[in-house]
């Protein structure tokens, strides 16, 4: 009986240890929320392309996207779903996230007009817990605190993506910056309105709702992400 009791106690302790190890860390996002899939992303290869309401050339035109943005920067798109040719299995249309106001617009573009490749990296941001998670496939690579938009200038929620990346020439953006496809009421971004993910000279404000809509990271975190975050990478903001 003593041996059985000791064995049972050992089993219970082992199960308890496994449960503790498997439990999500404080402030961590549920994996089901942080893990999401997209078809891929890539640049526009035509001079310009019409974004249609349906995967049909005669459908209503919702927007026009050009091959290059200001400064001859390539225009990237995020493909959310696709229509394929039943004979060849190749994509004929992609449903893409349309950057700009209002947030959340989607539409269809010809597959030939873009060069879409798979994307298995993603950034997950939770406004409620004020934390970020950077995922590569099913692996959580890095996480940390963020500052988000204050009341009246809230960081928008939804699925967005990285449009450009650069070393800022203004101290308020910290060590590095990623421009997203999201828009807020007012941000500190050059030209205003665009939601950026960037560093900060004020790390003591991380964990608070103090920005004009942008997402501030510790400079160490944004430096870590600098070479690991590609253009077109999806960013999901919840909370």
Cis-peptide, bond into residue 194, ω within 30° of zero: no
Taking the CB of residue 27, how many other CB atoms lie within 10 A of it?
15
**101 contacts 183 by C-beta, under 8 angstroms:** yes
Q: Based on the residue annotation, tell me whether 212 is a catalytic residue of this protein.
A: no
Q: Where are the beta strands (DSSP E) in the chain?
A: 40-43, 48-52, 61-66, 68-69, 73-74, 76-84, 91-97, 106-110, 121-126, 131-136, 139-149, 158-166, 177-183, 194-198, 209-211, 215-217, 234-238
Q: Based on the residue annotation, tell me whether 214 is a catalytic residue of this protein.
A: yes
- Tell me the C-alpha distance between 193 and 133, whole Å: 24
Closest C-alpha among 24, 40, 21 to residue 230: 40
Selecting among 136, 198, 204, 212, the annotated active-site residue is 198
Taking the CB of residue 212, how many other CB atoms lie within 10 A of it?
19
Q: How many Å is the Cα radius of gyration of the chain? A: 21
Selecting among 136, 204, 214, 218, the annotated active-site residue is 214
Active site (catalytic) residues: 198, 214
């Amino acid at each position: 009986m003593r041996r059985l009791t000791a064995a049972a106690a050992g089993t219970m302790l082992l199960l308890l240890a496994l449960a503790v190890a498997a439990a999500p860390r404080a402030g961590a996002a549920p994996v089901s929320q942080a893990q999401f899939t997209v078809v891929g992303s890539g640049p526009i290869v035509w001079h310009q392309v019409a974004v249609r309401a349906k995967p049909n050339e005669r459908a209503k035109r919702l927007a026009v996207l050009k091959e290059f943005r200001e400064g001859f920067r390539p225009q990237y798109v995020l493909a959310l779903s696709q229509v394929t040719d039943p004979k060849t299995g190749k994509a004929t249309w992609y449903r893409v996230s349309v950057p700009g106001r209002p947030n959340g617009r989607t539409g269809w573009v010809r597959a030939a007009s873009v060069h879409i490749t798979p994307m298995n990296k993603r950034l997950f941001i939770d406004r409620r817990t004020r934390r970020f998670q950077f995922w590569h496939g099913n692996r959580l690579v890095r996480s940390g605190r963020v500052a988000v938009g204050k009341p009246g200038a809230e960081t928008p929620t939804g699925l967005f993506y990285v449009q450009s990346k650069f070393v800022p020439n203004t101290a308020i953006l910290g060590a590095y910056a990623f421009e997203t496809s999201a828009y807020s009421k007012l941000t500190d971004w050059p030209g205003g309105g665009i939601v950026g993910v960037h560093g900060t000279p004020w790390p003591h404000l991380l964990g608070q709702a103090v920005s004009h809509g942008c997402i501030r990271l510790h400079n160490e975190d944004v430096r870590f992400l600098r070479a690991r975050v590609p253009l077109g990478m999806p960013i999901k903001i919840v909370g």
